[in-house]
Amino acid sequence: MEHTKALNALEAPADLITRATSAPNTFVFAELLETPNIQALANASDEWRPYLTLLQIFAWGTWMDYQSTPDLPPLTPAQSHKLRQLTLLPLSRSPKTLTYPHLLSALSLPNTRILEDLIISAIYAGLLTAKLNTQSQHLEVSSVAPLRDVPPHGISAMQATLLEWEGRCEGVLRDIEFQIREVRRRNAERKARNREYMRLQADQLPPKDSSLLSHSSFVSGSITIDPSMLGKGKGTGKRLAVEEEGNRVRDDGGGRGGEQMYYDDEMEIDELEGPGRTGQRKTPRRGEGKFNAGGGKKA
């Protein structure tokens, strides 16, 4: 009686494994593997232990693993078809393993027609997205479904793959940051060259109109007296040396021996004479006391 109960306890999980691996739309077996009654097969007799190994192959193994593992239960046609479908997923990792000759060998299929039917069924089942290139005898895979479980010994390999991917991402990020710095540096150099070019162009421009400068200096009303002309008599001709930047110049060539005076219509001018005459003041204003170029008297 006890033997019968123990036998039934092992037969039930083995039957569950057979039904699960034969179901057409069941492709994930991780939860089933974790159940206690399935894990109990690990300590069972040699008659039942291979069922646990078979379920592990369906979870993360391939058709080649089944072929190379002895004493496994025979597969039904549905189980064989499903395991071949699941084997296409790891084979899609490399284009070298997707040629028709390689697939025929890896899946133990007799001809290309059966292989293409298997691939089409896997595409319709949502296991992969691919195109059949019958001309080049090649399977072109664009994506695969994440339906395979990770074996216990595959975690370290996955970590190594992720670390390698992280290193490549960091390298790409460094390259992008370097390109950004280079673009900013070249932009700053271009702006500096433009500023230098504009400065050189400004230096080559002609000077501004001096009349503007004369008008601004006239407002200050500065007067410069030539000392060399002080004390000159009438015989030699006296010179009123009044200089104002921008003022007009008039010569009086008669009467006083060529009197020359610098004056402006708006400015009062003091005439300075030599010794013997002190303080005589002449204040030409607008409209009075204008000097003619040919005579010494006002008109």
- Decide if 25 is inside a domain: yes
- Decide if 68 is inside a domain: yes
Q: Where in the sequence is the domain holding 136, given as residue range(s)?
A: 2-153
75 and 6 fall within a common domain? yes
131 and 219 fall within a common domain? no
- Decide if 12 is inside a domain: yes
pTM exceeding the 0.85 threshold for the entire prediction: no
- Average pLDDT of every residue of the chain: 77
Q: Convert the pLDDT of each residue in 22-57 to its tens digit.
A: 998 899 998 999 899 999 898 888 888 999 999 999
Among 17-26, 168-177, 197-206, the range scoring the smallest mean pLDDT is 197-206
Q: Count of domains in the chain? A: 2
Q: Convert the pLDDT of each residue in 94-109 to its tens digit.
A: 877 789 999 999 999 9
- Decide if 56 is inside a domain: yes
Q: With left for phi above 0 and alpha for psi between -120 and 50, is residue 231 left, alpha or beta? A: left
Q: Please give the C-alpha separations between residue 167 and each of 34, 171, 173, in angstroms, as whole numbers.
A: 34, 6, 10
Among 78-82, 130-134, 279-283, the range scoring the smallest mean pLDDT is 279-283
pLDDT of 110 > 70? The answer is yes
- Decide if 278 is inside a domain: yes
134 and 243 fall within a common domain? no
pLDDT of 166 > 90? The answer is yes
pLDDT of 272 > 80? The answer is no
- Decide if 159 is inside a domain: no
40 and 141 fall within a common domain? yes
- Decide if 269 is inside a domain: yes
